[in-house]
Amino acid sequence: MTGVLEGGVGSPSAVGQETLVELRELVVDYVLGGRHIRAVDHVNLSIGSGEIVGLAGESGCGKSTIANAVMQLLRPPAQVTSGQVLFRGQDLTKLSTEEVRQFRWQNVSMVFQSAMNSLNPLMRVGDQFVDMMKAHRKISKSDALARAATLMELVGMDRSHVRSYPHELSGGMRQRTVVAMALALGPELMIMDEPTTALDVVVQREILQRVQDLQQDLGFAVLFITHDLSLLVEFSNRIAIMYAGEIVEAAPSDELFRRPLHPYTVGLMSSFPSLSGPLERMAGITGSPPDLGNPPSGCRFHTRCSHCDPAGRALYARQTTERPVLREVEPGHFVACHLLDTP
């Protein structure tokens, strides 16, 4: 794995890295009836080229919305209320339909949450490669199919499966196929949205290992979205933790592992049993994710935080009324928490 990178959240990446994708004060709302549900609340995130950034959080915290925002795939009732999504400095929302169409998959591709359903059940797998390639460049069908076969091999599948229908492949094979498809046009960023949730642990491992190897060879950046923090710690350079639509902590992965600062991160870390370590009592996090239509006041996590105590007087007042701001408490380590703010 490449060494720890210093791309700060919200700041231009460090020397030697160029910023590929930058989210600036991004706000995404879901408008249902008269209600506005804020799924992404003033998020700042940047991904440098060749960087593996992990995005973790519980279901419904806004991770997938961010992924869709980068791909310009948000559909009503979702809307980008304010903020920018920049790719190499260019505002994606200002692109024409045709430019967006070309941008998609060529520059940024995505591995969806359920590969099972990502493939058109009525088309052969190879044909699904072909139409994607033909949409982006002039290439003959036979060339496209040949390239598809090569890609399949790259992810560890037999070439002959190019002629298969999706329902003829196993879950793991479909996942690999989708990864191969995501790499077909040599994108600079590959977003993986919960890519292994539906797979068993062994297959999970294999596929992630494969992706890691490919990433090292081809040098693309990865935005890895998952609720499984343990995977991220192994796999990514930098990790951002999301809660209720906000980023509450971001740091290089081993730093985060060693010193998680935000109480939520601490809770997440302790929620995953280690397969090989000693038996421990699991702590978990009390309570449940907030209703984004009516989030808690002040710090959104305060209702579940073990460090939020009415006895704390002034601190408690801040926790319940003031939204914590993401601050760099150590080089490259950003946290949004009142506990670490010394007023």
Partner 1 sequence: MRWFIRRLGFYVFAIWVAITLNFLLPRLMPGDPLGGLMQRLTPSQIQGNPGIINTFKIMLGGTHEPMWKAYPIYLRNIFTGNLGISTSNYPSHVSDVIGRTLPYSIFLVGVGFILAFILGIAVGMVAAWRRGGIVDNFVMPSLLALAAFPAFFTSLVLVYFLGLKLGWFPLQHAYDTGVTPGFNWAFLSSAFRHAELPIIVIVLVFAGGWALNMRTIMINTIEEDYVGMAKAKGLHDRRVMTRYAARNAILPPLNGFAAQFATAVGGLVFIEFVFSYPGAGWTLQQAALGADYPLTQGLLLVFAVCVIVANFIMDLLNFVLDPRVRTA
Partner 2 sequence: MGGPDRERAGRRRLRLPGWLKLLLGNPKSRGGIIVLSGIIVVAVIAPWIAHANPNDFSLIDSRQSPSFHHLFGTTDQGSDIFSQVVWGARSSLIIGAAAALLATVLATTLGILAAYSGGVVDDIINLITSVFLVIPTIPLLIVVSSYLHSRSGVTMVLILGLTLWGFEARILRGQALALRNRDFILSAKVAGEGTWRIIFSEFVPNMISRIAAAFVLVFYIAILTDAGLEFLGLGDMNHASWGVTMYWAQVNSSFLQGEWWPFLFPGMALALTVAALVFILAGVDEVSNPRLRKDRKRGVIRSLFVGGRGARVALDAKDPA
Binding mask 27-46 for partner 2 (x = CB under 8 A): --x-x-xx-x-x--------
Binding mask 92-131 for partner 1 (x = CB under 8 A): -----x---xxxxxx--xx-xxx--xxxxxxx-------x
77 binds partner 2 (CB under 8 A): yes
Helix (H) or strand (E) holding 146: helix 141-154
Among 47, 61, 80, 241, binds partner 2 (CB under 8 A): 80
* CB 193 to partner 1: min, Å: 11
Q: Count the helix, strand and coil residues of the chain and give each as a percent rounded to the nearest 5.
A: 35, 25, 40
73 binds partner 2 (CB under 8 A): yes
- How wide is the angle at C-alpha 318 spanned by C-alphas 9 and 320, nearest 5°? 95
* CB 209 to partner 1: min, Å: 24
Instruction: State how far the Cα of 309 lies from the Cα of 30, in Å rounded to an integer.
Output: 33
**Looking at 82-90, 164-172, 194-202, 254-262, which segment touches partner 1 (CB under 8 A)?**
164-172
Among 75, 138, 281, 313, binds partner 2 (CB under 8 A): 75
211 binds, among partner 1, partner 2, none (CB under 5 to 8 A by kind): none
* CB 172 to partner 1: min, Å: 17
* CB 292 to partner 2: min, Å: 12
Instruction: State how far the Cα of 178 lies from the Cα of 277, in Å rounded to an integer.
Output: 34
Helix (H) or strand (E) holding 321: helix 314-321
181 binds partner 1 (CB under 8 A): yes
Looking up tokens 């449940």 gives 288
By beta-carbon proximity to partner 2, the closer residue of 34 and 277 is: 34
By beta-carbon proximity to partner 1, the closer residue of 115 and 241 is: 115
By beta-carbon proximity to partner 2, the closer residue of 1 and 73 is: 73
Instruction: State how far the Cα of 108 lies from the Cα of 95, in Å rounded to an integer.
Output: 15
By beta-carbon proximity to partner 1, the closer residue of 67 and 250 is: 67
81 binds partner 2 (CB under 8 A): yes
Size of the site for partner 2 (CB under 8 A): 19
Instruction: State how far the Cα of 297 lies from the Cα of 206, in Å rounded to an integer.
Output: 43
Query: What is the secondary structure of 113-138 as a DSSP string?
Result: S-HHHHS-TTS-HHHHHHHHHHHHS-
Instruction: State how far the Cα of 42 lies from the Cα of 61, in Å rounded to an integer.
Output: 13
DSSP state of 17: -
Report the side by side order of strands in the sheet with 35-48.
35-48, 19-32, 78-87, 90-91
- CB of 184 within 8 A of CB of 132? yes
All residues at 6 or more sequence positions from 234 whose CB lies less than 8 Å from its CB, including other chains: none
* CB 41 to partner 2: min, Å: 11
CA distances from 91 to 53, 73, 101, 274, 324 (A): 21, 15, 15, 42, 28
All residues at 6 or more sequence positions from 201 whose CB lies less than 8 Å from its CB, including other chains: none
286 binds, among partner 1, partner 2, none (CB under 5 to 8 A by kind): none
**Looking at 79-87, 238-246, 278-286, 327-335, which segment touches partner 2 (CB under 8 A)?**
79-87
* CB 166 to partner 1: min, Å: 9
Binding mask 3-32 for partner 2 (x = CB under 8 A): --------------------------x-x-
Q: Which residues bind partner 1 (CB under 8 A)?
A: 71, 73, 97, 101-106, 109-110, 112-114, 117-123, 131-132, 135-136, 165, 167-168, 178, 181
Q: Which residues bind partner 2 (CB under 8 A)?
A: 29, 31, 33-34, 36, 38, 72-82, 93, 97
